[in-house]
Structure 1
Amino acid sequence: MIIHTSDTSSIRVNDLFCGNIADFIVKGGHSKSSKTSAIDAATGESLSHVNQHILSRQIASILTESGYEPNFDPKSHIGDVLVTLFPNSIYSSPVHWAALIRGGTVSPASVSYTLNELAHQVRTVRPKVIVACKSKVSLAKKAVLMARVKTAVLELEHVISNAPKYPESDSVKFNKNSGYRRVAYLAMSSGTSGGIFKAVKITHFNITSCIQVCQKSAPNRDTASQIASAVIPVSHLYGLSKFLIMAPYVGSTTVFHEKFEIKEFLEAQKQFQVNSWPIVPPLVVLLTNHPLVKEFSESLRAHLRIVCCGAAPLGEKAARDFLTAITGSPDGIIQPTITSRDKSKSRDSGFFSSIRAHVADPAAAGITSANTAESAGQSRDAPRLQIIQGWGLTETSPTCTTFDPLDPDLHIKACGKIVANTEIRIRGQGQDLQKAPILIENYDAHPSKETLPIGEIYVRGPQVTLGYLNDDHADSVSFEQCYDPHVPWFHLKWFKTGDVGFIDAKGRVMVVDRTKEMIKSMGKQVAPAEIEDLLLSHELVADAAVIGVSNEKLGTESPRAFVVPKSGFKAAELRSWTDSQLPKHKQLHGGIVLVDKVPKNASGKILRRVLRERRGDLVEGVKLSKL
C-alpha cells in the first residue's frame, strides 16, 4: 500500500477536540468579544461575537419550547433534526449553534430547492423543526405535507425578534465516546455513486478536527484580521464550515450576502474593506470580465489580498486573467496605481499584517511560486493578491488539501497539499500509485500524460464522514475498510472520492477529472439521472441522456441533454419547460443535442463516454443566462 501523507506533523489524537461544536467555538477565545463578527451586506446591520453567542443560547430555548430535544439515537448517532431554509444571514450562526447547543443535528436546505427537492430532504432527515425565512415558510409547510412528516415550521424573523424574551440555554455536553460519533450535520449530497441526493452524516468531531488540522497546516490562511465576503451559501458545507465555524473560532469578520449581486458585492468590499473572497470559479470568471470591477479597482487593490477558490477546479488561465483584471499583473503583484493614502493601507490591510510579522522578507522565505513570484525590478514587499485553491468534499467536512499563503510551493494550478492527520492513496489500474515525477507547473506541456500516475483519490482522516444516512449501499461502494491495529480509529477506512488526480514531486495535489457521472455546475453537484428522469417525463421525448460540458461563458461545467425526439418536438420549448422545473444550476445551460438513439451497453447503462467524445454537434436550446 502506497500512502501519501502530509508535510505538516500530525496533531496528537488526544489533542483533537472531542465535544460539542458550540463549545469548540467558545474555546477559540472570542465568544465574549465585542468585535464585529457578522455584517449584513445589504443593510449594514451587524452582530458582535458576544451577541451571536447570547442569541444562539436564547434561540436554543425557543427550540426547546418547540419540542426540540437532545434525543440521541445510539444507533444512528443523530439527535433531533433542525432543517434551515433561509439565505445567508447574520443570523445563520446563531440558529445553527442553537441546535448544536441542544445536542441536535442540523440539515441545511438550499433556498433554491424546488418543492420536490425539499420534500425529499424532509422525508430523508425527518426534522423535528424547520426554521424558514418568511418567503419560504409556505414552501416548507407544503414540503412537510408532501413528505408526511410531523414537523414544526418556525419563521426566522419571528424567532429572532422573540429571542431576547427567552433565557440562555446551556450546551449539551458529550462524553468522549459519544463525541466522536455524534452527528452534527446531515448535509445533502449526491455521494460518489451519483443518483438521488443522500444525507451525509458529519459529526462534531469531523468538523472540529477539520478546523484544527487546517489551522495546523495553513495557520496564515484564516486569521482574526480577516474580513471575508460570504456569497457561498452556508447551506453548502464549504460555506458552512468557513463562515459559521472557522470564522467565529478564529475571531474574524464575515460580510453576509443573501445572494450574489455584483454591485452589492463590490460595494460591500469597498465599504467594509474586505480582504478575503472565498468564491467559486464561475464568480472568478464573471468578476474578470465585468466592467463594473474597474470602478472599484482602487479599493480592491488597497484591501483584497486573498481569494480562496473551491467547490470546483479553477483553470490557470482563468486565475491569471482574474489576477490581471484586479491587480494589473498575472502574478497578483499589485501595480502602483492607487493613491498614496490607500497605498499605506494596502501594505498593511489587516489580512497580511500578521503574516509580515512572521516574515520580514518574503523573498528570503522563498515565496517565488507562480502565483506570488515577483518580476524583476519589483519591490520585494509589494502588496499582492493570492489565489489559493483547496480540495475536499461534503463527505470530508470539507477540506483535504489546502495551501498556507506563505508556502513557497503555492501554485494556482494546484489545489494544495495534504492537511495534517490526513492520508491519501492514488488508485489506478487496480494498484496504488507513487507521486508523479513532474511538477504541476509542467503538467500541461507533458508529452504523454497517459503515462503519469493519475488515478482515483482515496482519503482517510478525522474529517471523513461516518457514512450516509440509511443507505448501506452507498456506504459499501464509497468506503474501503482497513484492518490495521497500529492506526487511529479514524484511519480504519478509506473514502473513495471519485475524483481523479495525482500528487506531484513537491506533494501538491492536482485534480484533473471528476467522477464520470456527476456534473459540477456553478459549484454544486448535479446528478444526470435526475435531469434525465425529468426529460423522460415529457411527452415529446423518447429517450434522453445528460452529461456535463465545459461552459466558458459561465466559467463552470453545465448540463447538456442528448434527446431522441418524437414528432412535433422543439428544443426551445423543451428548454423553457425544463427551466421551469429545475433550479438554475441544474438547467440545460449546455444546450440540447438531437440524436437518433442514446448509446447504451448491453445492460442498458448509458455510455456517457461516447457522448463526451462527440464533436461537431448542432447544439440547440442555448440562451444567455445570468449566474
Structure 2
Amino acid sequence: MTIYTSPYEPIAASEYHKGGVFDFIFAPERLDKRREQVAIIDAVTGAKTTYGELASESLRFADGFTRTAGLKRGDTVLLFAPNSALYPILLFAGQAAGLAVSTANSSYLADELTHAIQLAGANVVLASADLLKVAEKAAKDAGLANDKIYVVPATDGSLPSSLPSGMKPYTDLRGSPSFKPVIPSEKEAKTNLAYLPFSSGTTGKAKGVALSAFNITSCVLQTQKTKGLFDTRDCVLSVLPMYHIFGLVVMLHLTFFHGGTCVVLPKFDLPMALDSVQKYKCTTALLVPPIALAIAKHPIVDKYDLSSLRYILCGAAPLSADLQEAVSQRLKGKTKVFQGLGMTETTSVGAIPAADKVVPGSVGQLLSTMEARLVGDDGKDVKEGEAGELWLRGPNIMLGYYKNEKSTKETLTSDGWLMTGDICTRDNDGWYRVIDRNKDLIKYKGFQVAPAELEGVLLASPLVADCAVIGIYSEEQATELPRAYIVPAPEHAKSPTLTKDVAKWVEEKLAPHKKLRGGVVVVDVIPKSPSGKILRKDLRTAAAKEDMTKSKL
C-alpha cells in the first residue's frame, strides 16, 4: 500500500478544538479583540454587521430556537433560502443551540425539498419569502405543519404583509442575547451531527452528508495551514451559495475564524460582483468555473479596478488550464488564480495549492493532516506517475451519508478511506491533477446533477420509452451540461416538438440546474450491458464524435 501525506504542517494534537462550532468561531479570546470589526457587508444595501453583532444575534436566535420554537438539543432546523447577511446568523444560532443545521439548495422544487425535509427529519424550516409556495407544498407533503415554518426576508429584504396560515415571521425567534451556547463534549463533537448539507448521488435523490463539529473545526484548522493563502484576514467576495459546502466552510467559517469580512451577494451578478470588489477592496474571491469564464471574457470587466484581489480560488468543478491562464492574463497577472479539490464528503477541501506557486490545471497538494492513495480498478495502488482513483483519509472526512448505510459502505472503507470517484495523477512534487471521474455525476456550474434522477423523471413521461443521461462539456460555458438520449414512445416518435416537449417535462419537475441544457437526442436504442446497466461511456464517445463533426462543419 502506497500512502501519500501532505507537505503542509500537520495539526498538532494540542491544536484540535474539543468543543463545538460556535465556541470555536466566537472563542472569547478572539471575539474580544474583534467585536467592532466588520464581519459581513450586504453588497445590495451596504449594511454592515460587526463580529459583536454576529455573535449576539446568533445567540438571540439560539434562544428563540430553544424557547419559542421549543427545539431541544439534537433537533434539526433546515434553511431554505438564498444568500443573505442573516443566513450566517441562523447557521451559528443553530450551532449555539446544539441543533443540527441542514442547508437545502434554494433552487429546489417542491419534490426535492420534500425529500430534504424528510431525510433531515427537520423539526423547523426557515424559508425565504421568495420561496414560500415551494416551502408550503414541500412541508405539507413531508408531514410538517405550517406552524413549523418561519419566514425570512426575500432577496429584496422584505417580508410579506400577510403569511400563509400558521407560518410565522423569523423575528418571532429573536430572543435574548444572554443565551448560553451549548458546548458539546469532545466525544459529542466528533460523533454528533452538526451540519447536514446535501450531495447528489448517482443513484438519484440527494444524499445528506453528515458532518460533525469536529469535521468543521478540523477542516478550518487544516486549511489555514496553507501559509499565505488561508491563514490571514481577508475581505472575501461572497457569491457562492451558502448552502453549498464550498460557501459554507471556506467562504464563511474560515473567513470568520480569521476575523475577515464577507461581502455578501444574494446571487451571482457580474456587474454587482465587480463593483463590490472595487468598492470594498476585496482581497479574495471564491468562484466556480463559469464565473471565472465571465471574468476572462466579458468586456465589462475592464471598467473596474480589481487590483485589490490577491487571489481567486476556483472550486466545485474542474477549471481548465487554458481558462485558468486566461483569467490570470485578464487581471494583468496581478492576481493569482488557483483551483483546489474538494467535495461535501471532505467538508469542502481535499487538496489545495501553495500560495507561492501556480500550476495551471493542477488542483494543488494534499491538504494538511490528510493521507491519500491512488487506487486502480483492481483495488491495488497504482505505480508512481500512473492514474488512479483518489482515496482520502483525515479528520475532515464526513461521518457518513445520513440514514443511508448502504451508500456509506460503498464510499467509506472500514479503515476510514473516502473513495472520491476522481481519477487523478500525482507528480513527484505531490501536485495532483484530476483527469477523469469514474462516478456518473454531472457537474453543472458547481452543482451536482445525478443522471439517475433525471432518468427517473424522464421515464415517468408518456413521451419516453427508454432513456439515458450524460454530461457533455461546453467550452463556451466552462461547464458540463446534462444531455438526454431518449427512445421515444411509439405514439410520439414522429412528433415535431418531441425534443422540446421532453426538455419542458424535466424543466417543470426539477430545479433549474438540472435542465437538459445539453439537449435531447433521439436514438433507436440505449446502449446497455448484458446485466442492463447503461453504458454511458458509449454515449460519451458518440457525443464526442458528434461534437467533432460539428466543429469541422
Q: TM-score, normalising length from structure 1?
A: 0.80
CA shift at 1:132, angstroms?
A: 1.3
Deviations 1:510-565, CA, capped at 9 Å, x for gaps: 11112331111110111001111111122221111000110112110111111112
Q: Is the contact between residue 30 and residue 249 of structure 1 (CA under 8 Å) also seen in structure 2?
A: no
Q: Which residue of 1 aligns with 2:509?
A: 581
CA distance in 2, matches of 1:124, 1:317: 41
CA shift at 1:399, angstroms?
A: 0.9
CA distance in 2, matches of 1:130, 1:202: 19
Instruction: Name the amino acid aligned to 2:318.
Output: P
Q: Is the contact between residue 501 and residue 509 of structure 1 (CA under 8 Å) also seen in structure 2?
A: yes
CA distance in 2, matches of 1:186, 1:615: 36
Q: Which residue of 1 aligns with 2:454?
A: 531
Q: Which residue of 2 aligns with 1:185?
A: 195
CA distance in 1, matches of 2:546, 2:348: 39
Deviations 1:556-580, CA, capped at 9 Å, x for gaps: 0111111112334321232233223
Q: 1:326 to 1:180 in 2, by over 3 A?
A: same
Instruction: Name the amino acid aligned to 1:177.
Output: K
Q: Is the contact between residue 88 and residue 252 of structure 2 (CA under 8 Å) also seen in structure 1?
A: yes
CA shift at 1:269, angstroms?
A: 1.4
2:374 to 411, 419, 426: 426
SS of equivalent residue, structure 1 residue 154: strand
Q: Which moved more, 1:204-213 or 1:263-272?
A: 263-272
SS of equivalent residue, structure 1 residue 549: strand
CA shift at 1:68, angstroms?
A: 4.4
Q: Is the contact between residue 30 and residue 250 of structure 1 (CA under 8 Å) also seen in structure 2?
A: no
Q: Is the contact between residue 234 and residue 283 of structure 2 (CA under 8 Å) also seen in structure 1?
A: yes
Q: Which residue of 1 aligns with 2:272?
A: 264
Q: Which residue of 2 aligns with 1:29?
A: 30
Q: Is the contact between residue 472 and residue 518 of structure 2 (CA under 8 Å) also seen in structure 1?
A: yes
Q: Is the contact between residue 396 and residue 464 of structure 1 (CA under 8 Å) also seen in structure 2?
A: yes
CA distance in 2, matches of 1:282, 1:5: 32
Q: Which residue of 2 aligns with 1:461?
A: 394
1:69 to 71, 74, 85: 71
CA distance in 2, matches of 1:167, 1:394: 32
Q: Is the contact between residue 67 and residue 128 of structure 1 (CA under 8 Å) also seen in structure 2?
A: no
CA distance in 1, matches of 2:436, 2:175: 52
Deviations 1:395-454, CA, capped at 9 Å, x for gaps: 110111112312x4x312111111221000000142112442xxxxxxxxxxxxxxxx10
CA distance in 1, matches of 2:174, 2:539: 58
CA distance in 2, matches of 1:188, 1:66: 28
Q: 1:232 to 1:115 in 2, by over 3 A?
A: same
Q: Is the contact between residue 41 and residue 256 of structure 1 (CA under 8 Å) also seen in structure 2?
A: yes
Instruction: Name the amino acid aligned to 1:176.
Output: E
Residues 1:392 and 2:342 aligned together: yes
State the identity %: 31
CA distance in 2, matches of 1:55, 1:66: 15
Q: Is the contact between residue 123 and residue 149 of structure 1 (CA under 8 Å) also seen in structure 2?
A: no
Query: What is the root-mean-square deviation in Å for CA atoms of aligned residues?
Result: 2.0
SS of equivalent residue, structure 2 residue 119: helix
CA distance in 1, matches of 2:543, 2:252: 45
Q: Which residue of 1 aligns with 2:163?
A: none
1:195 to 191, 204, 207: 204
CA distance in 2, matches of 1:434, 1:33: 52
CA distance in 1, matches of 2:473, 2:539: 14
CA distance in 1, matches of 2:365, 2:331: 26
Deviations 1:572-627, CA, capped at 9 Å, x for gaps: 232233223332221111112111000111121101011111157779xxxxxxxx
Q: 1:43-442, aligned counterparts within 5 Å? A: 43-71=45-73, 79-149=74-144, 152-157=148-153, 161=171, 166-191=176-201, 193-216=202-225, 218-296=226-304, 299-300=305-306, 302-327=307-332, 332=333, 384-406=334-356, 408=357, 410-430=358-378, 431-436=380-385
SS of equivalent residue, structure 1 residue 481: coil
Q: Which moved more, 1:105-114 or 1:473-482?
A: 473-482
CA distance in 1, matches of 2:11, 2:326: 38
CA distance in 2, matches of 1:468, 1:252: 32
Instruction: Name the amino acid aligned to 1:153.
Output: I
Instruction: Name the amino acid aligned to 2:149.
Output: V
Instruction: Name the amino acid aligned to 1:606.
Output: I
CA distance in 2, matches of 1:149, 1:163: 18
Q: Is the contact between residue 227 and residue 252 of structure 1 (CA under 8 Å) also seen in structure 2?
A: yes
2:435 to 487, 512, 516: 512
SS of equivalent residue, structure 2 residue 222: helix
Q: Which residue of 1 aligns with 2:162?
A: none
CA shift at 1:223, angstroms?
A: 4.8
Q: Is the contact between residue 457 and residue 497 of structure 1 (CA under 8 Å) also seen in structure 2?
A: yes
CA shift at 1:138, angstroms?
A: 3.3
Q: 1:500 to 1:303 in 2, by over 3 A?
A: same
CA distance in 2, matches of 1:308, 1:549: 24
Residues 1:597 and 2:530 aligned together: no
Instruction: Name the amino acid aligned to 1:413.
Output: G
CA distance in 1, matches of 2:282, 2:150: 33
Residues 1:561 and 2:484 aligned together: yes
Q: Is the contact between residue 200 and residue 465 of structure 1 (CA under 8 Å) also seen in structure 2?
A: yes
Q: Which residue of 2 aligns with 1:478?
A: 411
CA distance in 2, matches of 1:231, 1:186: 21
Q: 1:435 to 1:149 in 2, by over 3 A?
A: farther
CA shift at 1:80, angstroms?
A: 0.6
Q: Is the contact between residue 593 and residue 618 of structure 1 (CA under 8 Å) also seen in structure 2?
A: no
Q: Which residue of 2 aligns with 1:352?
A: none
Deviations 1:364-385, CA, capped at 9 Å, x for gaps: xxxxxxxxxxxxxxxxxxxx21
Instruction: Name the amino acid aligned to 1:208.
Output: T
Q: TM-score, normalising length from structure 2?
A: 0.91
CA distance in 2, matches of 1:584, 1:2: 42
CA distance in 1, matches of 2:529, 2:66: 54
CA distance in 1, matches of 2:214, 2:454: 35
Q: Which residue of 1 aligns with 2:424?
A: 501
CA distance in 1, matches of 2:292, 2:174: 40
CA distance in 2, matches of 1:138, 1:591: 29
SS of equivalent residue, structure 1 residue 168: coil
CA distance in 1, matches of 2:392, 2:203: 18
Q: Which residue of 2 aligns with 1:487?
A: none
SS of equivalent residue, structure 2 residue 501: helix
CA distance in 2, matches of 1:465, 1:616: 35
Q: Is the contact between residue 92 and residue 244 of structure 1 (CA under 8 Å) also seen in structure 2?
A: no
SS of equivalent residue, structure 1 residue 529: helix
Deviations 1:62-91, CA, capped at 9 Å, x for gaps: 1113444343xxxxxxx1101001111111
Unmatched segments (≥5 aa) in structure 1: 72-78, 333-383, 437-452, 483-492, 620-627
SS of equivalent residue, structure 2 residue 278: helix
SS of equivalent residue, structure 2 residue 224: helix
Deviations 1:343-379, CA, capped at 9 Å, x for gaps: xxxxxxxxxxxxxxxxxxxxxxxxxxxxxxxxxxxxx
